[in-house]
Amino acid sequence: MLRLLQGASSPMSVDALAEAIDLHVNTTREHLDCLIGAGLVSRHPEIRCTRGRPRMLYSAVERVDEEAASNRVREEMARILVAGYGQATASPTVAAEHAGFAWGDRLSSEAEDSAGLSPTRRSAGAGDAPSSLAQLSALEARLDALGFEPETDPETLEVHMHRCPFYELAQESPEVVCSVLLGVSRGVLAHVGGPLTAAQLDAFVGPRHCVLHLSKISDEAPDRALRVAAPARH
C-alpha cells in the first residue's frame, strides 16, 4: 500500500486504494491509520466546489534524502558487525540477532517520536489494542525505510524483500548479516506488540530476493529460523 501511494501521481481515496490492492475498505482504512501513525502517509480532505462531505485523500509523505538514509543504514550495520568482532561468543548468529532486535526496537521508537506519537497512541496508532495488522504495517514501513523494498502478503504472512542494502556484506557472511535482519524484524514486531513474530528467514531464494515468514507467537517454532541458499554473485 505504501509503495502504491509513493508511485501515485496524485492523492488517492480509500476506495481507490482498496480496489487497487483488493482489500476491504475497512481493512484498507486500518492499514492507512497505521501508516499515518508511523509518519509515512498524510491525510487531507478533498477540495471540492459541490455540497456534501468531502472525501479524505491519502498521499505518501515525501522521503528524506535516500542516499543519506542508505548511508546511515550501512553505517549502523557496520557498527553492529564491528561491535561483535573479536568477542568471545558461543554463537555469532545469536549475538547478531540480539543486536538486530535492539536495532528494530530503536527504529520503531525513533519513527514514533518523529511522528509525534504519545505513549498512549503508540502500537496500533490510535489507542487500539495491538493487532497483527498494526504489526504488519509497522514492519513493512521499517523494512521499506531500510531499503529492502518489502511486499507483504497478509494472507500467507510472508514478506518478500526484493532488494538488500547489505547485499555485498551478506555475500561474505550471510549467516551473520541475515541474522541481524531476522532480529530487526522481531524487534519491530515485539515493539508494536501483537500476536505475530518473525519465525523464519529464507535468504537468497532468488537474486537479491529474500522471504521472511511470520507466524503467531503461540505456533511451534521451525527447526531452523534462518535458511541461507548460496548467494548468486554478479
Question: In this predicted model, what pLDDT tens digit does every residue of 203-233 receive, in sequence order?
Answer: 888 878 899 999 998 776 666 677 766 555 5
Matching CATH topology for 2-60 and 66-228?
no
For residue range 8-26, what is the model confidence (pLDDT) as tens digits?
A: 888 899 999 999 988 888 8
Pick the CATH number of 66-228 from 3.30.1380, 1.25.40, 2.60.120, 2.130.10: 3.30.1380
**Three-state secondary structure readout of the chain:** CHHHHHHCCCCEEHHHHHHHHCCCHHHHHHHHHHHHHCCCEEEEECCCCCCCCCCEEEEECCCCCHHHHHHHHHHHHHHHHHHHCCCCCCCHHHHHHHHHHHHHHHHHHHHHHHHCCCHHHCCCCCCCCCCHHHHHHHHHHHHHHHCCCEEEECCCCEEEECCCCCHHHHHHCHHHHHHHHHHHHHHHHHHHCCCEEEEEEEEEEECCEEEEEEEECCCCCCCCCEEECCCCCC
Domain boundaries, the chain: 2-60, 66-228
* pTM of full prediction above 0.75: no
**What is the dotted CATH code of the domain comprising 2-60?**
1.10.10.10
